[in-house]
Amino acid sequence: MQNHDELDDILSEARHMLGGDKPDRNVPYTGAKRVVRSASARNRQAERYAVPLAQEDPYEEEPYAEPYRQPPAKRRKKRHWFRNLLFALLLLGAAGAGLVLMLAKQPTAKNSLGARKRGVSTVLLAGVDQDGQRTDTLMLLRVGGGTAGLVSIPRDTLVNGSYTVPKINGVYGVNGGGTEGTDMLLQRVGECVGFRPDGLLLVDLEGLAELVDVMGGVRFDVPQDMYYDDPSQNLHIALDAGEQRLDGAQAVGLVRFRSGYAEADLKRTEVQRDFLRAAAKQWVGPGLVAKFPALLSWAKKYVETDLSTANLIWLGLALVKGDHGFETAVLPGTAANILGGSYYVLNPEAVAEIVNQYCNPYERAVTVDDLFIRN
């Protein structure tokens, strides 16, 4: 123990010589430099040199008057403005996300196929031509439950009805467009796939172009050179093959081009699905939620739909929560010439298989008996 005490003394002296000692705040300042040792240290020193402590210690304390001590200055409280701002933004973000979730409502159509798969809906995507009558682009989108499914319905598909040209792309226009045209189009598609889709989004070409521009374009690998000019349709396509960023006008040209394909409309539907898949991969993500107001405004201007705002919010959230991928297919069929017209006739057995794999929102599988295909 004594060795430890001596070591403490040596270290104390060394710290003092190096200026490392901090003054004791309990000892008053008298104007002179003072060396203050503990009582035990002074006693040990007196015993070592046999000198009375009173004679040896020149710093023996004398009575003194307590000097005036200026109270320590108050520390300024730090203003953590950035932390507070971040916290406030997080609260607002959480509140906003909660509000969005509260507003969202899944679209569901009345069908007789029984129980639905939880959180799964189907929406028919339709693109109309410049005159707003023919739906030359038709895709059935399944969302919810992981990877989305996207199934193309060829524009020349033969359908039921007493139309002069009973193709699916003419159903909307023949029935006057609007609510009646939408309802009949959903009915005819339901006959082809075995159930009525839960909603429809119909977009014209101008709306597609603006959407692509608003979202910053789409990086896409154009499969071949595409050159086509038709002043009567105001259609001017000039695209070189290869990967590039497409703006709105170029995207419209891409999805409308078909005259240069060996497989004509079937190849066009494939390119359309590939384009939509690329756009979804680049656009859909957590950041999409922040664009909901702009997208809802765009939809109000360019989209005709039977879905409510709450349904549209649900659809956007379902896409964001998914894995941002698409499984794609086309309804199987064969080309046929009927009374001098070119048609696409669906194959019921193959259609049922594709529907169940890619876009069936019901627990029960679709069978051939559920289909009402004209052949």
- Would you place residue 260 in the very low, low, confident or very high pLDDT band (cuts 50, 70, 90)? confident
268 against 183, higher pLDDT: 183
pLDDT of residue 372: 95
Average pLDDT of the residues in 231-252: 91
- Would you place residue 100 in the very low, low, confident or very high pLDDT band (cuts 50, 70, 90)? low
In the structure encoding, which two tokens stand for residue 27, read together?
């000892």
Q: What is the DSSP-derived secondary structure letter of residue 24? A: P
In the structure encoding, which two tokens stand for residue 320, read together?
């964001």
The Cα–Cα gap between 139 and 134 comes to: 14
Q: How many CB atoms lie within 10 A of CB 21?
A: 14
pLDDT in tens, 354-375: 999 999 999 999 999 999 999 8
pLDDT of residue 52: 47
195 against 76, higher pLDDT: 195
- Would you place residue 9 in the very low, low, confident or very high pLDDT band (cuts 50, 70, 90)? low
- Tell me the helices (H) and strands (E) count for the chain, helix number first: 12, 12
- Asked whether residue 3 carries a pLDDT value surpassing 50, the answer given is no
pLDDT in tens, 213-222: 988 899 999 9
The Cα–Cα gap between 154 and 264 comes to: 11
Strand partners, 151: 140, 329
Strand partners, 126: 138, 202
Angle separating helix axes 205-214 and 248-256, nearest 10 degrees: 130
pLDDT of residue 50: 47
pLDDT of residue 44: 57
pLDDT of residue 295: 80
pLDDT in tens, 134-178: 998 999 999 998 888 999 999 999 999 988 899 999 999 999 999
In the structure encoding, which two tokens stand for residue 313, read together?
């919010």
* pLDDT over 70 percentage in the chain: 71
The Cα–Cα gap between 117 and 346 comes to: 26
Q: Let me know if 57 is exposed, middle or buried by CB neighbors in 10 A (0-12, 13-18, 19+).
A: middle
Work out the mean pLDDT of the chain and round it to a whole number: 79
For β-strands 341-346 and 333-338, DSSP reports them as antiparallel
CB 150, CB 140: distance < 8 Å = yes
Cα–Cα–Cα angle for 220, 124, 334, rounded to 5 degrees: 80
- Would you place residue 262 in the very low, low, confident or very high pLDDT band (cuts 50, 70, 90)? low
pLDDT of residue 233: 76
In the structure encoding, which two tokens stand for residue 193, read together?
């796939």
CB 346, CB 157: distance < 8 Å = yes
Average pLDDT of the residues in 108-120: 92
pLDDT of residue 332: 96
In the structure encoding, which two tokens stand for residue 156, read together?
């020349």
- Would you place residue 299 in the very low, low, confident or very high pLDDT band (cuts 50, 70, 90)? confident
pLDDT of residue 72: 56
The Cα–Cα gap between 212 and 351 comes to: 32
The Cα–Cα gap between 335 and 269 comes to: 15
pLDDT of residue 48: 53
What separation in angstroms does the CA of 203 have from each of 125, 130, 207, 311? Answer: 8, 11, 6, 17
The Cα–Cα gap between 243 and 167 comes to: 34
pLDDT of residue 291: 76
pLDDT in tens, 31-88: 444 444 555 555 555 555 444 444 444 444 455 455 555 555 545 444 444 454 444 4
**Nearest CA-CA partner of 35 in 24, 46, 44:** 24
